[in-house]
């Protein structure tokens, strides 16, 4: 774009190709390793090309379950992860849309105080408040439950803040036109604000889904019941399987599977996201 000389172009491409290679290499290794028998991975030259064991490896982890991971089939763990990630994502979006709506469109006492309280929690990640949160969950007897897994992660200062910023850009006249058109606050929210936020919701959905899917520490602490294990936890447990040698071929196969849903979400949502950018309304 800037440079049109051949050397410049070649150099640019070289740097880009190097970058891509660097980023993709681990993924490639995981893919390759998941298709080999265990012995191949413990010998000196680690294979760089696919082996012949793909079918067996994936079948083992998907259906059988692995003693090292508590005998839970990976399919089950994927399902758990998906429920948790979707629960967190949808919950976060719903809550933060509503709180941003309240903060931007309503005048109530201590409005700014509430806003700053939400804003300050941006500085407190899950890890910092993990003990008190755990305590609360115990008292509510939510250990080992979907509620315990999802609810504490739902409050989101980031998304609230982003939606607030977006709502502030919606022209006041739209609110006023809606008031004249006899739309009450919730009707305005549902009929006008929500459709206008579509592309923002898509973008935040991507970020939050990956955030939810990758949760490790909290599920580890809150669940001891194997039927609630998530796939990220499963990988962790397989690697720390005590004295036995790590089963790298199976771990890598699980990792590959664990990567798929976030990739699918990105691909699916990107469509909407880009579409929103191209045919920007107004």
Partner 1 sequence: MATVEIRDLTKIYPGGVSAVESVNATIGDGEFVVLVGPSGCGKSTILRMIAGLETITGGDLLIDGARVNDREPGERDIAMVFQNYALYPHMTVRRNMEYGLRNEGRAKDEIARRISEAARMLRLEDYLDRKPRQLSGGQRQRVAMGRAIVRDPKVFLFDEPLSNLDAKLRTQLRAELKALHDRLKATFVYVTHDQVEAMSLADRIAIMNAGRIEQIGTPMEVYQRPATRFVADFIGNPAMNFIEGRLDEGGHIKVDGTDVAQLGQAAPLHAGAKVIVGVRPEHLSLDASDPADGMMSLSMAATFQEQLGADTVIHGKVLGTDDALTLRLNGIHTVTPGQRINLGADTAHLHFFDAETGARLSA
Binding site for partner 1 (CB under 8 A): 171, 173-174, 176-183, 187, 191-192, 195-196, 198, 279, 281-282
By C-beta, is 4 or 280 nearer to partner 1? 280
DSSP 9-40: HHHHHHHHHHHHHHHHHHHHHHHHHTTS-HHH
In the complex, the smallest distance separating the C-beta of residue 275 from partner 1, rounded to whole angstroms, is 13
In the complex, the smallest distance separating the C-beta of residue 174 from partner 1, rounded to whole angstroms, is 6
Task: Classify residue 102 by burial, with Cβ atoms within 10 Å: 0-12, 13-18, 19+.
Answer: middle
By C-beta, is 147 or 185 nearer to partner 1? 185
In the complex, the smallest distance separating the C-beta of residue 8 from partner 1, rounded to whole angstroms, is 39
Helix (H, G, I), strand (E, B) or coil at 62: helix
By C-beta, is 62 or 196 nearer to partner 1? 196
Minimal CA–CA distance to 274: which of 202, 205, 183, 175?
A: 202
By C-beta, is 143 or 170 nearer to partner 1? 170
In the complex, the smallest distance separating the C-beta of residue 199 from partner 1, rounded to whole angstroms, is 11
In the complex, the smallest distance separating the C-beta of residue 172 from partner 1, rounded to whole angstroms, is 9
Q: CB–CB of 126/153 below 8 Å? A: yes
In the complex, the smallest distance separating the C-beta of residue 170 from partner 1, rounded to whole angstroms, is 10
**Alpha helix stretches (DSSP H) within the chain:** 6-33, 38-42, 54-59, 74-105, 111-120, 130-139, 146-150, 157-169, 172-180, 185-188, 194-196, 198-213, 217-222, 231-239, 248-278
By C-beta, is 156 or 200 nearer to partner 1? 200
From residue 192, alpha-carbon distances to 102, 145, 176, 196, 268 in Å are: 15, 36, 12, 6, 24
**Can you list the positions of beta strands (E) in 102-142?**
none
By C-beta, is 54 or 183 nearer to partner 1? 183
């Amino acid at each position: 774009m800037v440079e049109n000389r051949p050397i410049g172009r070649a150099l640019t491409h070289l740097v880009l190709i190097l970058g891509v290679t660097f980023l993709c290499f681990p993924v490639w290794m995981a893919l390759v390793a998941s298709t080999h028998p265990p012995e191949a991975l413990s010998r000196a030259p680690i294979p760089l090309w696919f082996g012949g064991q793909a079918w067996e490896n994936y079948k083992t982890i998907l259906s059988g379950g692995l003693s090292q991971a508590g005998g839970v089939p990976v399919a089950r763990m994927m399902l758990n992860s998906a429920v948790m990630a979707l629960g967190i994502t949808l919950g976060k979006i719903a809550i933060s849309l509503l709180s941003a709506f309240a903060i931007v469109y309503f005048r109530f006492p201590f409005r700014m105080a509430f806003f700053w309280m939400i804003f300050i929690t941006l500085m407190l990640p899950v890890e910092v408040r993990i003990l008190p949160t755990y305590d609360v969950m115990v008292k509510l007897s939510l250990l080992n439950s979907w509620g315990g897994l999802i609810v504490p992660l739902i409050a989101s200062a980031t998304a609230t803040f982003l939606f607030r910023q977006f709502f502030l850009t919606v022209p006041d006249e739209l609110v006023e036109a809606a008031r004249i058109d006899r739309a009450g606050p919730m009707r305005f929210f549902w009929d006008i604000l929500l459709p206008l936020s579509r592309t923002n919701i898509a973008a935040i959905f991507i970020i939050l889904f990956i955030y939810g899917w990758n949760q490790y520490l909290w599920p580890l602490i809150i669940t001891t019941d194997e039927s609630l294990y998530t796939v990220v936890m499963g990988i962790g447990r397989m690697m720390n399987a005590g004295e036995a040698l790590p089963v790298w071929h199976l771990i890598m196969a699980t990792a590959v599977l664990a990567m798929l849903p976030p990739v699918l979400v990105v691909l699916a949502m990107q469509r909407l996201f880009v579409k929103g950018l191209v045919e920007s309304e107004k």
